[in-house]
Amino acid sequence: MYRSHTNGALRLADVNEEVTLSGWVQKVRNKGFMIWVDLRDRYGITQLILDEERTDAAVFETAKSLGREFVIQVKGTVIERVSKNPKMETGDIEILVSELTILNASKTPPFTIEDDTDGGEELRMQYRYLDIRRNPVKNNLIFRAKVTQAVRNYLSSDGFIEVETPYLIKSTPEGARDFVVPSRMNEGQFYALPQSPQTFKQLLMVGGMDKYFQIVKCFRDEDLRADRQPEFTQIDCEMAFIEQEDILNVFEGMTRHLLKEINGVEVGDFPRMQYDDAMRIYGNDKPDIRFDMKFGELNEVAQHKDFGVFNNAELVVGIAVPGGNSYSRKEIDKLINWVKRPQVGALGMVYSRCNDDGSFKSSVDKFYDQDDLAKWAEVTGAKSGDLICILSGDKNKVRAQLSALRMELAERLGLRDPKVFAPLWVVDFPLLELDEETGHYHAMHHPFTSPKPGQMELLDTNPGEVKANAYDLVLNGNEIGGGSIRIHDKQMQATMLKHLGFSDEDAKAQFGFLMDAFEYGAPPHGGLAFGLDRLVAILGGQETIRDFIAFPKNNSGRDVMIDAPAPIDDKQLTELSLMLNLKS
């Protein structure tokens, strides 16, 4: 061992003790006759002191040569500091150094190893091993480990068995793109990396494991949007002989436990909201309910005048911005420009100021009178001093636009407090989703999700209306988990796959093993998966998952530190029975 103590350990009670410390040189202050060194490791910082009087001359000389991030080992005596530093845990003491060994020198790091570093994102990613030395990154990784271990202990105590499912599986064309892995031993054939262990966990239920979980890497070869990673981690769970209510209870318990154990926050019963209500009230299936600004649908009270924009709209909908009447005309114009950005896509925004005297002043006073505007205030719940923002158009689009505006305003108003936690179950998701490009329906959750009882018949007549036993757990406006009760009947699964456009042949080739399994006594079952990266980030009071991943990839799916992916040898390609077929 290169140390008797870590750099976070020593206190006044240790004064006069002879100790050996090791770590990185955080800072050197050289006053000529006296040198202080801040010595850092994972556990903290301890101050070292060397002076011409008390320190051996050779040791003093060595200390003069130290640079930032040198790795050193020192022996010395713990002494009480003359000027204590109450901000440091070890701030009452320092080490009077008697021996000093440089274990490894360091070049000057490309950015400062400080909480607020001068390094940009790209540089920090290239030298991620240096970035990890910084407290914010280091603490995030330790926090992640703590959350993960808490999840494992909670589920294990509750009778869940962690089972490892395979990573080299079979490619299925459903859902996102698979990453594939050519097989050398099976010429011309490929494994796929799992997008989730979905079918395997269902087979474990057929196999009688009863309660399964796994914290597991999953893979999706998608064009990466901001803050998506090609590999990500799921808390994957499945239970047999349960109904939706049981799943919600178990994982509400787990989430409440995490909030208590990790964040020290007590949360009561999680509210539940139907998907249709979430869309109607918040324009979003993952509403942030830490704040209000509920949608008010204004068709009835806004489509009776000559204002064509509203009259031709499928939906006219507004929100009351608390205190928004204080916005200047210029600020409101900025808001209007904000909703007109291509990322949001609104054509314009109508507003109505709610004055302190109870009167209203709107951007459409030409068409609407005070009575109309009073009704708008009533429907949106606006009070004196608020600003009502109204969008109109195609229902789905306008809801998404107003939801974006609601989140943006909440951010500006400081209503998204990362220390407040507002979980919410969104339930009764639609089974199918219309792909507007192809005109085909595809599974909103996945093809194994069970429709609600008695709704199977609607599949033929009105597929978009079929509701599923599917649910999401939403935390502070983020989907942190989602799941469903599964189909466990072969015939129903076959019908479902047919509706999703699979030929009998494809269905058999892709999912034959699962449907076969359903013929040998499959129990009713269902489950849920949490996105661990996102969950950890939100519990950590942040929203960027990359900050909670040790070695993340960039938006092109590259690891810029190790420079991967990279070309491989022709010999390797030949062994895999492959040739490159480059487009460019």
Which residues in the 91-150 window bind a copy of itself by CB under 8 A? Answer: 103-107, 109, 127-133, 138, 141-142, 144-145, 148-149
Q: Whose Cβ is closer to a copy of itself: residue 231's or residue 543's?
A: 231
Size of the site for a copy of itself (CB under 8 A): 130
Non-local CB neighbours of 188 within 8 Å, separated by 6+ positions: 577
Report if residue 579 touches a copy of itself, rule: CB under 8 A: yes
Non-local CB neighbours of 59 within 8 Å, separated by 6+ positions: 50, 97, 98, 99, 100
What's the full length of the chain, in residues?
A: 584
Q: Whose Cβ is closer to a copy of itself: residue 243's or residue 314's?
A: 243
Of these, 46, 165, 325, 352, which contacts a copy of itself (CB under 8 A)?
165
Report if residue 500 touches a copy of itself, rule: CB under 8 A: no
Q: Whose Cβ is closer to a copy of itself: residue 109's or residue 175's?
A: 109
Q: Using CB under 8 A, which residues numbered 379 to 398 contact a copy of itself?
A: none
Q: Which residues of 397-422 are buried (b: 16+ CB within 10 A; e: fewer)?
A: bbbbbbbbbbbebbeeeebbeeeebb
Report if residue 230 touches a copy of itself, rule: CB under 8 A: yes
Q: Using CB under 8 A, which residues numbered 182 to 201 contact a copy of itself?
A: 182-193, 199-200
Cβ at position 528, least distance to a copy of itself in Å: 16
Q: Using CB under 8 A, which residues numbered 48 to 77 contact a copy of itself?
A: 69-71
Tokens of 535: 């969950």
Q: Using CB under 8 A, which residues numbered 555 to 574 contact a copy of itself?
A: 556-559, 561-569, 572-574
Q: Whose Cβ is closer to a copy of itself: residue 56's or residue 575's?
A: 575
Report if residue 33 touches a copy of itself, rule: CB under 8 A: no
- Write out 53-93 in H/E/C secondary structure: CCCCHHHHHHHHCCCCCCEEEEEEEEEECCCCCCCCCCCCE
Report if residue 440 touches a copy of itself, rule: CB under 8 A: no
Rounded Cα distance, 350 and 332, in Å: 10
- Write out 161-216 in H/E/C secondary structure: EECCCCCCECCCCCCCCCCEEECCCCCCCEEECCCCCHHHHHHHHHCCCCEEEEEE
Report if residue 491 touches a copy of itself, rule: CB under 8 A: no
Q: Which of 225, 224, 233, 164 is nearest to 195 (CA)?
A: 233
Rounded Cα distance, 411 and 433, in Å: 30
Q: Whose Cβ is closer to a copy of itself: residue 31's or residue 107's?
A: 107
Report if residue 231 touches a copy of itself, rule: CB under 8 A: yes
Rounded Cα distance, 130 and 124, in Å: 7
Report if residue 262 touches a copy of itself, rule: CB under 8 A: no
CB-side exposure of 199: number of CA atoms within 13 Å?
21
| Residue 211 · residue 160 · CB < 8 Å | yes
Of these, 99, 210, 276, 277, which contacts a copy of itself (CB under 8 A)?
210
| Residue 497 · residue 443 · CB < 8 Å | no
Rounded Cα distance, 48 and 7, in Å: 10
Binding segment for a copy of itself among 52-60, 173-181, 387-395, 402-410 (CB under 8 A)?
Answer: 173-181
Q: Which residue's entry shows tokens 């959750």?
A: 445
Binding segment for a copy of itself among 238-246, 262-270, 355-363, 408-416 (CB under 8 A)?
Answer: 238-246
Of these, 9, 364, 492, 578, which contacts a copy of itself (CB under 8 A)?
578
Please state whether beta strands 161-162 and 211-219 pair in parallel, antiparallel, or not at all (unpaired): parallel
Of these, 196, 233, 325, 392, which contacts a copy of itself (CB under 8 A)?
233
Cβ at position 211, least distance to a copy of itself in Å: 8
Binding segment for a copy of itself among 75-83, 400-408, 467-475, 512-520 (CB under 8 A)?
Answer: 512-520
490, with CB counted inside 10 A (0-12, 13-18, 19+), is middle
| Residue 523 · residue 206 · CB < 8 Å | yes
Q: Whose Cβ is closer to a copy of itself: residue 204's or residue 377's?
A: 204
Q: H-helix or E-strand containing 415? A: none
Cβ at position 84, least distance to a copy of itself in Å: 26
Of these, 5, 40, 399, 546, which contacts a copy of itself (CB under 8 A)?
40
Q: Using CB under 8 A, which residues numbered 13 to 32 contact a copy of itself?
A: 22-24
Cβ at position 138, least distance to a copy of itself in Å: 7
Contact flags string 442-481 toward a copy of itself, x per CB under 8 A: ----------------------------------------
Determine the distance from the C-alpha atom of residue 92 to the mean position of all C-alpha atoms in its chain, rounded to a whole number. Answer: 40
